């Protein structure tokens, strides 16, 4: 009887160990990304510029997001809270100025509807699209108008927002 090239009796335990190690690495990297996502969201919520800087210095992906309904991006969450300095850091690290959350809300929409004029100005200066449409058919201008943000409405119109 001819001897097999690989003794399957020994190969199976090695393969199992390799598969488990690979699964562990993948799981650890997903868990680390999730932890970093939560840490950055907390930094934005608390307006902790120092923590945001540290996470960005640690090479966090500025466009990282959890895959859940309406989950915010770092950009949309920072715009929602008017965290202009953190937005500057995210933009400098490659954050997408037109990123959308699960409801297709852009950072410009979030800032416009909440009256964060400094944030709106930064986003416009950074090339934010004026006429993106949310899943409800709103633009940043319609949201600003609905929220009675007259100063922001005028700023968006002056920048070229469609009426």
- Domain for residue 8, yes or no? no
- Domain for residue 22, yes or no? yes
Give me the domain span that covers residue 60: 14-158
DSSP 3-state assignment of 77? helix
Provide mean pLDDT across the span 5-28: 51
Contact 92, 58 (CB under 8 A): no
| Residues 71-99: tens digit of each pLDDT | 899 999 999 999 999 999 999 999 999 99
- Domain for residue 4, yes or no? no
Contact 41, 77 (CB under 8 A): yes
| Residues 36-73: tens digit of each pLDDT | 999 999 999 999 999 999 999 999 999 998 876 778 99
Number of H helices, E strands in the chain: 8, 0
- Domain for residue 70, yes or no? yes
Whole-number average pLDDT of the chain: 86
Number of domains in the chain: 1
Q: What is the CATH number of the domain that holds 50?
A: 1.25.40.20
């Amino acid at each position: 009887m001819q001897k097999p090239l690989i003794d399957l009796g020994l190969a199976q335990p090695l393969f199992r160990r390799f598969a488990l190690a690979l699964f562990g690495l993948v799981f650890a990297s997903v868990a680390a990304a999730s932890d970093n996502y939560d840490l950055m969201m907390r930094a934005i919520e608390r307006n902790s510029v120092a923590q945001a800087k540290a996470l960005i210095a640690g090479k966090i992906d500025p466009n990282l997001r959890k895959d859940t309904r309406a989950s915010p991006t770092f950009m949309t969450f920072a715009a929602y809270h008017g965290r202009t300095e953190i937005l500057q850091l995210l933009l400098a690290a490659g954050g997408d100025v037109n990123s959308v959350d699960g409801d297709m809300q852009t950072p410009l929409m979030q800032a416009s509807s909440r009256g964060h004029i400094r944030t709106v100005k930064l986003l416009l200066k950074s090339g934010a699209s004026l006429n993106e449409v949310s899943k409800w058919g709103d633009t940043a201008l319609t949201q600003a108008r609905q929220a009675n943000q007259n100063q922001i409405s005028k700023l968006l119109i002056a920048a070229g927002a469609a009426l």
